[in-house]
Amino acid sequence: MRSHSPLPRQRGLTAISGALALIILLLIVQIWLLTASLESFLAGHLSVAVPGAIASALIFLACLGLYIFILRVDREVQQD
């Protein structure tokens, strides 16, 4: 079994940058989703609101997961 060792600083930075890029990508999708849901709502297509809200919640959870990942990596790097 591998022993748990702290992440080297440079690898930690790369991991954090990758996670940030993913969060930004998800945010762009979420902005598009909100815009599309609003447009559909104003056009009277009320049924679009449910899948829109579910997808938005999933994206938020993914962002939250990545944020927790960033905190964890940051903590490990600090131990380095």
Q: Shortest gap between Cβ of 56 and other proteins (angstroms)?
A: 4
Q: Which is nearer to other proteins, 1 or 42 (CB)?
A: 42
What is the DSSP code string of 37-63? Answer: HHHHHHTT-GGGHHHHHHHHHHHHHHH
Q: How far is 16 from 52, CA to CA, in rounded Å?
A: 29
Scanning the structure block, which residue is given the tokens 């009277």? 44
Instruction: Give the binding site for other proteins (CB under 8 A).
Output: 9, 13, 16-17, 19-20, 23-24, 26-27, 30-31, 33-34, 37-39, 41-47, 49-50, 52-53, 56-57, 59-60, 63-64, 66-67, 70-71, 74, 77-78
